[in-house]
Structure 1
Amino acid sequence: MSTIRQVQITFDCAEPERVARFWCEVLGYVVPPPPKGFASWDEYNGSLPPEQRGAWAVAKDPSGEGPRLYFQRVPEGKVAKNRVHLDVRVGTGLVGEERLATLQAECARLLALGAVHVQTLIADEDNESCISMQDVEGNEFCLD
């Protein structure tokens, strides 16, 4: 008997709320409501000891279909390339110039949110075009 399990993707970062809000904009995700008994996340964070305030944030798919993204504050900065990265699938089913134009348009939108363009790989005989990028804290991801 096979069991399907949900996954959560966790990001180590310096500013969890900032990175969570970036990914909400990228994916159409939302920040969930604050815990019961709190009118806002600011109120919730204000109830915590200073060292725990803003220590984590969440971005979730409002439809409940996509994975939950969890962002946790860590003291060290990013020092190497990610071993795992997200592919944001904006060009699925598109080929050639139409695919490249779609990827470039999404790249422009994400640049305005603080992303960084790393490299555009143009289609060849084996692969379609894709664009490598970094989020607001330098985590690599691809527009595919």
Structure 2
Amino acid sequence: MSTIRQFQVTFDCAEPERVARFWCEVLGYDVAPTPQGFATWGEFNRSRSPEGEEEWFACVDPSGVGPRLFFQRVPEGKVVKNRVHLDVRVGTGLVGEERLAALEAECARLLPLGAVRVRLLADDTDSCIVMQDIEGNEFCLD
């Protein structure tokens, strides 16, 4: 018998709060409650980092269905393509021109938030748009 486990997706990044707030906008997520005993994420970070730097931040699906997203500051920048990426499901059940229109509309919504369009991968049924978030992490509008 298999066991279903909850999981979170962790992003290595330079600016955890900025990247987390971007993903909150993309996915309709909320900023996660602060760790127990802390009034704000800033207070939590100051207690953990001697320099008082922003080290961690998180966001959650308000419906409780999607995974928690956790963002941690790392010193190195992004160098190569992600080994794992998110697919933002905006065209589920749609095909052809209707699917492309849904993908393009979502792309247009995300560009002003700082997302970057990389390329359209188009075919008759399963088109997607490859994008990057505000720190260059790849994701797909699917």
Normalising by structure 1, what TM-score? 0.90
Q: Which amino acid aligns with 1:116?
A: V
Which of structure 1's runs of 4+ aligned residues deviate more than 2 A? 33-53
Structure 1 residues 47-58: aligned runs within 5 Å: 47-58=47-58
The letter for the 2-side match of 1:108 is A
Aligned-pair RMSD on alpha carbons?
Answer: 1.6
- Residues in 2 aligned to 1:49 and 1:87: alpha-carbon distance in whole angstroms: 33
Does structure 1 conserve the Cα–Cα contact (< 8 Å) formed by 2:41 and 2:57? no
How many residues align? The count is: 142
SS in 2 for 1:58: strand
Which residue in 2 is equivalent to 1:138?
136
Q: CA deviation at 1:32?
A: 1.6
Quote the Cα distance in structure 1 between the aligned partners of 2:90 and 2:122. 15
Question: Aligned residues: percent identity?
Answer: 75
* 1:1-144 map, 5 Å: 1-124=1-124, 127-144=125-142
1:69 maps to a residue whose letter is L
Q: Output one character per residue of 1:36-76: Cα deviation in whole Å (capped at 9) or x when no partner.
A: 44433334444454435310111111111111111110000
1:9 maps to a residue whose letter is: V
Checking the alignment, whether the CA contact within 8 Å between 2:46 and 2:52 is kept in structure 1 is no
Q: Secondary structure at the match of 1:120?
A: strand
**More off after superposition, 99-108 vs 39-48:** 39-48
Task: State the one-letter code of the partner of 1:61.
Answer: D
Distance 1:26 1:90 in 2: 11
Paired residue secondary structure (1:105): helix
Residue 93 to residue 80, structure 1, CA distance change in 2 (3 Å):
same
Q: What's the TM-score once normalised by structure 2's chain length?
A: 0.91
> Is the 2:10–2:72 Cα contact (8 Å) retained in structure 1?
yes
